[in-house]
């Protein structure tokens, strides 16, 4: 019933009635449920709350009831705590003691979650001075949590949920400190890693709450135990946990005047009492911890000295954990940070300077770098997901001290000159270079420490390594990584010192000095410089400079006009491609990072790049075989990709203006509106890229037209007065395309336009597309090239519809399947299904504002796969005519969602096995990749077929003598090796033991493969098969 209609008297009467019935087992659940609803009533007062609480504590014995019944009582208590807390607080110790007796021995995780939350509220908001031991007894008895949820647990309570809830109780009040710390210390000695992990996590939360007085008594013992955990951690995560516990302990013992402890305590959830101020707290060793924030005495002195003793042998295994302990102390409080630096830097610097210990210098520098890194805020790179890098420490271990480094106040001030000279000088020694670069970066990043001239000096030392990495790529990579980080802090230093060096490496195209040929040392140098520029120039100021400099180089290079088949032409086109690829890579990264300055380049970079490839086509072709580099179709595609990226970031209003300008240029030859003043540089040849008499170089600019329009939002008007006219002209250009560049550009634009504007295209789809299919694609009398081009257009139109889950697209798929009976078009029709299935085509993407419906791929494959299987089974054809269905399936396999492959496995498996006999290496590789996924996920389903599959896979493992090694063949061999590598760990030995000798023999032949990656994979695969035994 609606509790809002109850008045005070009714509520009181109902409460008394239900409370009286709580003692009856049969009525406990309905009464508890009814009281739970009553508690939420606005007329439920403090008196009723006291009555209900007393009734539960006096009448209910939870131990005698099943879990579901107990749960109803816990829910009632939870509602009482939420809605009638004053009543429970008035009962005080009576309620707390009764509650502790009531819930003692509870084991159900669902009930424990409620109980832990209730205990936490009690500890935070009740007077628990007299009952703290009882509360401790009913919470710590569950520590550590050993619960593992059963499979399919309907309540969804994980072990981690219970651990966090229990930790919240144990870290709720300082009163628990004297009781919990001895037991935590015992648990820390446990052999179980799970118990140790939970103990360390609890200590991190509890030390700041328990305060200096309680922690001081145990500081020495915990310090020694934590040192052991750091030095002998089973993995990096456990070491980080131990270091976090060290930081939490010493943050509590040595707080700063600005009280880091207080903020940490708040974050840990403390709501009771004040943080313990430490004046004198005697530890077990008699240590004292004065309140003065400038003095360091007691257990910290011993902790630091222990680490320094280990650092006397900096190349030993214990040195690295020792310096990590020091950094944890640096991150705990400012005064400890000062003390650690004052005590640790002199011996490390002396050790470096010692002429007798030169071999130790790399290790010393590494430890210096680690210490210096702890003084600067974490870099953005620290949080990047990189499988090749060790995960960064927790944020708390990367939180620098708060003291100022400006105006000589830094504890590093006495060591400034030594640090600068040692770190910069060490970059010249190969053995010391990597740690020196790491230390130099850390020094530069310390806020306000180095003077501007010192920053310049440090960056110059790193530049020297970047420009002359005589020891190998690892030094170059380390120098570049350091400069990338510095570019975010000091972009103008990079602009003044680093960019000129890199830009000077880029060759200048002149008539007298040819550009470097591909593969030459000069070519490698400029490519490396471009790679560095791409990494460094993400900052808006640096990117602007990069654009200006690269455009200047492009102007020079694209103006070159030489014979197409000459080495000069090859060098110039490759150089221009690398310049454009660099621009594109930087813009892609800026887009990924959300830089807002990308859009503004639609006003400058877009017309400038467009002019570079448009204007040369307005001049007559040379009488000899010379051609301007700017007319190379590959460069037109590069420009189109850059333009597409920029236009994607522009708002619809500006896109509309750009669409009008593009219309004027491509359909009317008016370049002024689009290119601005650059249009004055056009030649005498009219710009008519869509007219058949125009030169091929001009018609290739359809790729630029398409790239611009692909990025337009659906609301933007296309460059044509009539949408139907625009699409019809696009279809006509498909039939008259002279090369792949023109054809691909046109069919991509068709697919994108249909996708974004499908609701308005009924006439086009019903009339023009239908006519295209009947009169050209399905007509055997049409020229073969025209039929194939039309099929490309038809497939992309179908894809545009399918991606938006438009039913008309599926009718077109039926037409494509019908073409499997056409011997001339069957292979192209089968391949077109793979084109439609391709998800990352760079055309119909979210970035290009395509309309993409959720789960369209699942719907497409669910529709298509059964049809292919049925058509294959019912086909009466033989040979290639029947295999075309296998070709289609093979082209789809790498695009099918894995879960759908597993669902359709019984139907697909026979076809997959048969597809291994296809002659096309690329298709067989797709099939083997799919089989590898199945072996990894459901090996038992393949056991009956695995022997025959393995025999067929082995046939693709070696290169036949005299056969050309194509990329598809190499892909097939790598796929075969990946499949064979997955078998030993997942297929029982008895199933394949008879084939082991044959497999090892063929793997031995693969060791002589002409490709290095195949040989390396074959070695790893054979090692697994050698170990494959019964």
DSSP for 236-287, written as a single string: HHHHHHHHHHHHHHHHHHS--TT-HHHHHHHHHT--SSPPPPPS----TT--
Q: Are 89 and 125 in contact (CB under 8 A)?
A: yes
Using alpha carbons, select from 192, 189, 251, 191 the residue that is nearest to residue 226. Answer: 189
Burial letters 986-1008, b for 16+ CB under 10 A, else e: ebeeebbeebeeebeebbeebee
Token pair listed for 139: 């919470």
pLDDT of residue 1: 53
d(CA 772, CA 731): 9
Instruction: Count CB atoms within 10 A of the CB of residue 839.
Output: 12
- 715 to 720, 746, 756: CA distances (angstroms): 14, 21, 9
Contact status, residue 333 vs residue 256, Cβ threshold 8 Å:
yes
Closest among 484, 310, 346 to 418, alpha carbons compared? 346
Give me the pLDDT at residue 380, please.
65
How far apart CA 570 and CA 165 sit, in angstroms, is 67
The CA distance from 683 to 699, in Å, is 16
Q: What gap in Å lies between CA 740 and CA 629, rounded to an integer? A: 19
Q: Is 733 helix (H, G, I), strand (E, B) or coil?
A: helix
Q: Which residues of 363-380 are buried (b: 16+ CB within 10 A; e: fewer)?
A: bbbbbbbbbbbbbbebbe
Closest residue by Cα to residue 829 from 879, 773, 870: 773
Q: Do residues 205 and 171 lie in contact, with contact meaning Cβ atoms separated by under 8 Å?
A: yes
> Across 616-756, where does the E strand assignment appear?
626-628
Give the pLDDT confidence score for residue 906 in this predicted structure: 81
pLDDT in tens, 468-511: 867 778 999 999 999 999 999 999 999 999 999 999 999 987 75
Q: For residue 561, what is the DSSP state?
A: E
| Token pair in block for residue 802 | 């399918």
Q: How remote is the C-alpha of 768 from its chain's centroid? A: 45
Specify whether the CB–CB gap between 606 and 646 falls below 8 A. Answer: yes
Element (H, E) at 420: helix 416-426
β-bridge partners, 300: none
Place of tokens 């490839």: 613
**926 vs 625: CA distance, rounded Å:** 42
The pLDDT assigned to 326 comes to 96
Q: Taking a C-beta distance cutoff of 8 angstroms, is the pair 1025, 1003 a contact? A: yes
Asked if residue 650 lies in contact with residue 658, where contact means CB atoms within 8 angstroms, the answer is yes
CA atoms within 13 Å, Cβ hemisphere of 804: 21
**Tokens 């709350």 belong to residue:** 49
Closest by CA position to 243, among listed 259, 263, 261, 223? 223
Residue 250 contacts residue 300 (beta carbons within 8 Å): yes
Residue 907 — φ and ψ, nearest 5°?
-80, -35
- Residue where the block lists tokens 């497409």: 860
DSSP-based three-state secondary structure for 628: strand
Strand ranges in 608-731 using DSSP code E only, listed in sequence order: 626-628
Paired tokens of 626: 């010379």
Q: For residue 275, report the phi and psi dihedrals to the nearest 5 degrees.
A: -65, 140
Q: Please give the full DSSP string across 75-119, using - where no structure is assigned.
A: HHHHHHHHH-HHHHHHHTHHHHHHHHHHHTT---HHHHHHHHHHH
Distance CA(132)–CA(1030), nearest Å, equals 59
Residue 837 CA to residue 864 CA, distance in Å, equals 10
Q: How far is CA 161 from CA 166, 199, 259, in A?
A: 9, 16, 31
Burial of 659 (0-12, 13-18, 19+ CB in 10 A): buried
Phi and psi of 873, rounded to 5°?
-70, -35
Q: Where are the alpha helices (DSSP H) in 602-651?
A: 605-614, 633-648
**Separation in Å, CA 500 to CA 298, 454, 529, 549:** 54, 19, 11, 10
563 SS3 class:
strand
Based on its alpha-carbon atoms, the radius of gyration of the chain, rounded to whole angstroms, reads 37
- Count of alpha carbons within 13 Å of 574, Cβ hemisphere only? 18
Task: Tell which residue, 381, 372, 481, has the closest CA to residue 420.
Answer: 372
Say whether 562 sits in a helix, a strand or coil.
strand
CA dist 686 and 178 (Å) reads 91
Tell which phi-psi region holds residue 788, choosing left (phi > 0), alpha (psi between -120 and 50) or beta: alpha
- Phi, psi dihedrals of residue 703, rounded to the nearest 5°: -65, -40
User: What pLDDT shows up at residue 286?
Assistant: 35
Neighbour tally for 920: CB within 10 Å? 17
Cis peptide before 587 (omega within 30 of 0): no
Which CA distances in Å does 736 have to 175, 692, 743, 747, 831?
Answer: 86, 8, 9, 12, 22
Cβ count within 10 A of residue 437: 26
For the chain, which residues score pLDDT lower than 70? 1-5, 257-294, 380-390, 469, 511-512, 623-624, 720-721, 959-964
Reported in sequence order, the residue ranges of 518-611 that DSSP labels E, i.e. its strands, are 561-563
* Residues 46-80 as b or e (16 or more Cβ within 10 Å = b): eebbbbbbbbbbeebebeebeeeebbbbbbbbbbb
């Amino acid at each position: 019933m609606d509790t809002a209609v109850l008045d005070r008297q009714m509520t009181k009467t109902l409460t008394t009635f239900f409370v009286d019935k709580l003692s009856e087992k049969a009525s406990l659940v309905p009464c508890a449920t009814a009281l739970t609803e009553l508690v939420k009533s606005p007329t439920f007062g403090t008196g009723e709350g006291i009555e209900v609480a007393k009734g539960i504590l006096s009448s209910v014995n939870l131990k005698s009831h099943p879990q579901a019944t107990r749960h109803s009582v816990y829910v009632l208590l939870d509602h009482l705590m939420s809605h009638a807390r004053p009543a429970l607080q008035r009962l005080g110790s009576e309620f707390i003691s009764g509650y502790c007796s009531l819930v003692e021995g509870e084991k159900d995780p669902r009930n424990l979650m409620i109980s832990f939350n209730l205990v936490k509220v009690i500890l935070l908001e009740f007077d628990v001075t007299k009952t703290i031991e009882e509360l401790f007894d009913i919470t710590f008895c569950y520590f550590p949590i050993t619960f593992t949820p059963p499979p399919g647990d309907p309540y969804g309570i994980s072990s981690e949920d219970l651990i966090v809830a229990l930790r919240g109780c144990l870290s709720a009040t300082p009163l628990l400190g004297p009781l919990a710390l001895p037991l935590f210390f015992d648990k820390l000695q446990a052999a179980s890693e799970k118990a140790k992990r939970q103990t360390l996590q609890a200590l991190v939360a509890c030390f700041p709450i328990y305060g200096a007085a309680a922690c001081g008594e145990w500081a020495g013992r915990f310090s020694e135990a934590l040192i052991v955990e750091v030095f002998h951690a089973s993995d990096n995560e456990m070491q980080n946990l131990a270091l976090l516990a060290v930081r939490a302990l010493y943050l509590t013992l040595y707080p700063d005047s600005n009280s880091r402890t207080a903020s940490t305590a708040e974050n840990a959830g403390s709501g009771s009492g004040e943080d313990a101020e430490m004046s004198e707290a005697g530890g077990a060793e008699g240590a004292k911890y004065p309140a003065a924030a400038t003095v360091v005495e007691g257990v910290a002195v011993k902790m630091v000295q222990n680490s320094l003793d280990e650092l006397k042998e900096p190349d030993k295994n214990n040195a690295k954990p020792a310096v990590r302990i020091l950094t944890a102390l640096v991150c705990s409080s400012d005064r400890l940070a000062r003390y650690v630096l004052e005590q640790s830097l002199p011996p490390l610097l002396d050790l470096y300077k010692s002429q007798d210990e030169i071999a130790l210098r790399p290790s010393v520098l590494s430890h210096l770098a680690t210490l210096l890194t702890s003084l600067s805020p974490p870099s953005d790179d620290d949080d990047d997901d990189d499988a090749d890098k060790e995960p960064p420490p927790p944020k708390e271990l990367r939180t620098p001290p708060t003291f100022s480094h400006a105006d000589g106040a830094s504890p590093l001030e006495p060591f400034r000159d030594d640090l600068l000279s040692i770190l910069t000088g060490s970059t010249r020694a190969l053995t010391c270079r990597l740690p020196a670069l790491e230390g130099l970066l850390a020094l530069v990043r310390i806020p306000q420490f180095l003077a501007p001239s010192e920053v310049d000096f440090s960056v110059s030392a790193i530049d020297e390594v970047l420009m002359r990495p005589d020891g190998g790529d690892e030094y170059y990579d380390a120098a570049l990584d350091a400069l990338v980080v510095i570019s975010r802090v000091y972009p103008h230093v990079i602009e003044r010192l680093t960019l000129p060096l890199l830009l000077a490496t880029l060759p200048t195209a002149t008539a007298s000095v040819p550009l470097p040929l591909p593969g030459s040392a000069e070519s490698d140098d400029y490519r490396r410089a471009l790679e560095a520029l791409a990494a460094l120039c993400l900052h808006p100021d640096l990117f602007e400079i990069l654009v200006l400099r690269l455009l200047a180089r492009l102007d020079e290079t694209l103006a070159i006009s030489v014979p197409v088949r000459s080495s000069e032409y090859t060098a110039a086109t490759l150089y221009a491609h690398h310049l454009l690829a660099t621009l594109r890579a930087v813009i892609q990264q800026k887009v990924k990072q959300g830089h807002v300055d990308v859009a503004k380049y639609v006003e400058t970079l877009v017309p400038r790049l467009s002019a570079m490839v448009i204007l040369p086509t307005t001049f007559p072709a040379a009488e000899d075989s010379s051609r301007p580099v700017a007319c190379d179709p590959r460069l037109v595609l590069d420009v189109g990709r850059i333009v597409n990226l920029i236009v994607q970031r522009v708002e619809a209003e500006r896109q509309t203006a750009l669409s009008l300008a593009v219309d004027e240029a491509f359909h009317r030859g008016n370049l002024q509106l689009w290119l601005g003043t650059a249009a004055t540089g056009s030649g005498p040849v009219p710009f008519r890229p869509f007219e058949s008499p125009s030169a091929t170089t001009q018609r290739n600019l359809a790729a630029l037209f398409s790239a611009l329009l692909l990025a337009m939002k659906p609301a933007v008007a296309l460059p044509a007065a009539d949408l139907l006219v625009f699409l019809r002209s696009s279809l006509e250009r498909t039939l008259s395309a002279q090369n792949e560049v023109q054809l691909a550009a046109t069919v991509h634009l068709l697919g994108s336009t249909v996708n974004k504007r499908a609701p308005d295209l009924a006439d086009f789809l019903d009339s023009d597309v239908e006519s295209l299919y009947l009169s050209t694609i399905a007509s055997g009398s049409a020229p073969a090239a025209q039929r194939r081009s039309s099929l490309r257009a038809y497939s992309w139109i179908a894809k545009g519809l399918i991606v938006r889950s438009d039913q008309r697209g599926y009718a077109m798929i039926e037409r494509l399947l019908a073409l499997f009976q056409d011997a001339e078009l069957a292979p192209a029709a089968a391949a077109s299904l793979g084109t439609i299935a391709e998800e990352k085509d760079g055309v119909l993407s979210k970035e290009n504002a395509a309309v993409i419906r959720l789960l369209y791929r699942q719907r497409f494959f669910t529709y298509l796969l059964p049809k292919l299987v049925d058509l294959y089974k019912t086909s009466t054809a033989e040979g290639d005519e029947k295999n075309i269905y296998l070709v289609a399936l093979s082209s789809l396999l790498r695009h099918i969602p894995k879960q759908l492959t597993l669902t359709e496995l019984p139907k697909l498996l026979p076809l997959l096995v048969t597809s291994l006999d296809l002659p096309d290496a690329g298709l067989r590789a797709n099939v083997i990749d799919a089989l590898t996924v199945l072996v990894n996920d459901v090996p038992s389903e393949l056991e009956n077929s695995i022997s025959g599959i393995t025999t067929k896979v082995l046939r693709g493992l070696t290169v036949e003598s005299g056969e050309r090694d194509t990329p598809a063949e190499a892909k097939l061999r790598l796929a075969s090796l990946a499949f064979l590598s997955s078998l030993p760990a997942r297929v029982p030995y008895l199933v394949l033991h008879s084939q082991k000798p044959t497999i090892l023999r063929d793997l031995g032949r693969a060791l002589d493969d002409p490709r290095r990656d195949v040989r390396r994979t074959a070695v790893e695969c054979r090692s697994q098969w050698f170990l494959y035994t019964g």
